[in-house]
Amino acid sequence: MSEDIDWDPVRELASRVEAGETLVLTPEVRDLLLRTARQVAIPESDAQAAIQDVAAATALLREARGRIREGSIRLNITEMRARDLVRAGDKAGARKLLMDLLAVEAVPLYREQVALALEDLD
């Protein structure tokens, strides 16, 4: 990806909202939501529409944070299992795990990491 990714601000904002803080749609928050939506493969039109309304923006925030969290967990578990298979001599099994993940993963950063793991198998 050409864009630097720092998801800590979106994680922090999501935590505050989950703790009961109301999302305030400042220009900075809107920019954060749009940037993060782009980084987690949420269509631009959906994100633009969502940042016009607090409830929709809150849902966008939760969706983005969910994609970050769930994708990270899937990636870590799959890479760990793939490494175990490679150590056991089953490169084909490791490749299948990674290809299966690539088939469902939407977040470009995680897709890149899966592609790199597949290259490492060669």
From the CB of residue 84, how many other CB atoms can be counted at a distance below 10 Å?
A: 13
pTM above 0.75, yes or no: yes
| Residue 4: pLDDT band with limits 50, 70, 90 | confident
Q: How many CA atoms lie within 13 A of 10 on its CB side?
A: 27
pLDDT in tens, 7-24: 999 999 999 999 999 999
pLDDT digits (tens, 9 = 90+) for 58-75: 999 999 999 999 999 999
Report the pLDDT value the prediction gives residue 122, as an integer from 0 to 100.
83
